[in-house]
Amino acid sequence: AQIDALHVSERTLLDLKTTSAWKVVNKDYDKYEKQMNIQAYLAGLHGYEVEKIQVVVICRDWSKVRSGELNYPNTPIQIVDLDLWSKKEQELYIRERLELHFGEGEKVCTDEDRWMRPESFAVKVKGKKRALRVLPTMKSALLYAADNNLADSKYSIEERPATYTRCESYCAVSKWCSQFNATK
């Protein structure tokens, strides 16, 4: 919970984040808001009153060409105001997180936590690498093949199992996680 910057006179807590421009486009700040409310609570315990929390987002993949597009950041550095929760809300959230961490058993992650890419079915011309279409169910893949008059001998349907990107590539404890290992 290290604080990047605290402007004491302005009672403003700042955090620096290097991320994708798409985080700004999608206004995907939920995790930042949670983290900064914990930091604001801790600052309060040390006598620093926080009235405003902001994240300074540095867009590593920012494109000047796209800067005129709707919702796309106009500069690679954005200052984003986040919602500051009441002390009661902050305490409740911290308590819930501590219970999850120290409670009985292993935490069960949501599909969103795990960055799940759902199972899909790729309709492919036999002998080709690229799919003609990727669909969410076998039924929709079969219907697509039928609607496009693909003969059985000319196409195949490749089942692509669900993947959990965060677990597979970013989680430090996935090799011990029963939830992740059950999906292998």
pLDDT given for residue 151 in this prediction: 79
pLDDT in tens, 44-73: 999 999 999 999 999 999 999 999 898 999
User: Would the CA dihedral through 164, 169, 170, 175 be positive or negative?
Assistant: positive
Residues 15, 79: Cα–Cα separation, whole Å = 10
pLDDT band at 13 (very low <50, low <70, confident <90, very high): very high
Residues 139, 30: Cα–Cα separation, whole Å = 36
CB atoms < 10 A from the CB of 65, how many?
7
Instruction: State the average pLDDT for the chain.
Output: 92
29 has pLDDT over 90: yes
Residue 78's nearest CA partner among 22, 40, 12, 35 is 22
Residues 52, 39: Cα–Cα separation, whole Å = 12
pLDDT in tens, 125-180: 988 899 999 999 999 999 999 898 887 778 899 999 999 999 999 998 889 888 89
Residues 168, 125: Cα–Cα separation, whole Å = 30
